[in-house]
Amino acid sequence: MATLREIPWEAFQKLDADGKAPLLNEEDRLFHVLVAQQFSREDLDRLGALATHVRRIAKERDGLLFLQDLLRHKRAMLYFSQPSTRTFLSFCAACQILGLSVGEVRDTATSSEFKGESQEDSVRSFSSYFDMIVMRSHVGGLAERMAWVLSNSERPVPIINAGSGKDQHPTQALLDIYTLQRSFERRDGIDGKTIVFVGDLLRGRTVRSLSALLTNYRNVRQCFIAPEQLQVSEDVQEMLRRKKVRFELSGDFERMVPEADAIYMTRIQDEWDTEKGQSARIDTSRFWFTGAHLKRLKPDAVVMHPLPRRNEISTDVDHDPRAVYWRQMRNGMWIRAAMISTIFGQEDAILGYREPGTGRRKRQKR
């Protein structure tokens, strides 16, 4: 199978996400993580099961020490030139669970970029010291460019896209899928469910990535509820048509609440405004989830949010068991640990973990 070393940058750049996905692995193993489209249903099932295994092992001291010894010889760079709290800390915690040493650059004013160094040269410098680079940037396509550059260098190291412009946020989509897997594990899984996306769907990269991952499941209905100016983009719609996925565009939030198995709320992405006050001129109050909506929501449905939130979910909702956004956030630590362990070939070691002193495989607790 072809890799990034075997395709010119200009040709790679012209491919859509489905075309890029097969080029991102090395030796049939997960390597770069750049787009949601590189994960199959089998991949998602395997990563979800591995994440659950990691979280169970980590509950006890011996298990956590075992995990922390797996990648003690590896180092990770967290290069977050775009502000982040949850994603940064989630990756940091995932690395610590597996024993990786972590370096960070969160303000380019403290790096050589302040002196005029290009981001490309900065990342190549990081690859001299670290075994994995996690990148978050407001520049779309930068993670893809750096993955190609490093794959064609003398020191190829994995690039993880932790948010790239308005394009993709694949590891957020992984934690979203993992949350849905766990939420619906007693309801025959994600197949056949109605997933309702609400809010700023035009500029929300989490929506774009999760929508792509959901196409791996059978008979999932995707509904996009937003003001007309913020409705999901045409390229996402075309992807869904091409994959023959049922979807609906609407501005009627109230109608969709009782039909939803999962409601995925999003905030206004006004950091992408092209003029001052652009987003403020759009009335989004009709798309806020309040305590009153809980009475109309299915008893086994879930309310999700990638966070941070503003007014789009009332704090009155927080203590309802169907509000899973805090669990969703914590799930990110586990699924990212599962992903990192897979990149470095440690999944068999984790799945084969045995309780010390017994010779028995660690008993799994629900």
Beta-carbon-side half-sphere exposure of residue 78 (alpha carbons within 13 Å): 22
Same domain, 116 and 153: yes
Same domain, 115 and 239: no
Same domain, 235 and 158: no
Provide the annotated active-site residues: 86-87, 115, 136, 169
pLDDT, greater one: 348 or 139: 348
**pLDDT tens digits for range 114-155:** 556 677 878 888 889 999 999 998 888 899 999 999 999 989
In the prediction, which pLDDT does 66 show? 97
Same domain, 39 and 134: yes
CATH number at residue 24: 3.40.50.1370
Query: How far, in Å, CA of 80 to CA of 162, rounded?
Result: 8
Q: What is the secondary structure of 310-364 as a DSSP string? A: SSSB-GGGTTSTTB-HHHHHHHHHHHHHHHHHHHTT-HHHHHT-B-TTT-SBPPP
pLDDT category at 84 given cuts 50, 70, 90 is confident
Residue 1 has pLDDT above 70, yes or no: no
Chain centroid to CA 165:
14
**pLDDT tens digits for range 148-167:** 999 999 899 999 999 887 77
Same domain, 137 and 238: no
Asked, for residue 176, whether it belongs to a domain, the answer is: yes
Asked, for residue 366, whether it belongs to a domain, the answer is: no
Residue 366 has pLDDT above 50, yes or no: no
**Per-residue pLDDT averaged across 322-347, rounded?**
97
**pLDDT tens digits for range 175-220:** 999 999 999 999 999 999 999 999 999 988 899 999 999 999 999 9
In the prediction, which pLDDT does 365 show? 45
Same domain, 187 and 53: no
In the prediction, which pLDDT does 28 show? 80
- Please confirm whether the linkage preceding 83 is cis (ω < 30° from 0): no
For residue 161, give the DSSP letter.
E
Please name the residue that has the structure tokens 């999962």: 262
Residue 173 has pLDDT above 50, yes or no: yes
In the prediction, which pLDDT does 139 show? 84
Residue 364 has pLDDT above 50, yes or no: no
Asked, for residue 294, whether it belongs to a domain, the answer is: yes
Query: How far, in Å, CA of 110 to CA of 93, rounded?
Result: 23
Query: How far, in Å, CA of 92 to CA of 86, rounded?
Result: 10
Q: What domain range is 262 assigned to?
A: 170-328
Residue 251 has pLDDT above 50, yes or no: yes
Same domain, 12 and 161: yes
Number of domains forming the structure of the chain = 2
pLDDT category at 357 given cuts 50, 70, 90 is low
Same domain, 183 and 322: yes
In the prediction, which pLDDT does 281 show? 75
Same domain, 174 and 309: yes
Asked, for residue 102, whether it belongs to a domain, the answer is: yes
Residue 27 has pLDDT above 70, yes or no: yes
Same domain, 340 and 207: no
For residue 85, give the DSSP letter.
S
SS3 for 87-140, per residue?
A: HHHHHHHHHHHCCCEEEEECCHHHCHHHHCCCHHHHHHHHHHHCCEEEEEECCC
Count of other CB atoms within 10 angstroms of residue 359: 7
Residue 3 has pLDDT above 90, yes or no: no
Same domain, 298 and 189: yes
**Per-residue pLDDT averaged across 263-288, rounded?**
80
Q: Which of 268, 200, 206 is nearest to 230 (CA)?
A: 200
Asked, for residue 365, whether it belongs to a domain, the answer is: no
pLDDT category at 279 given cuts 50, 70, 90 is confident
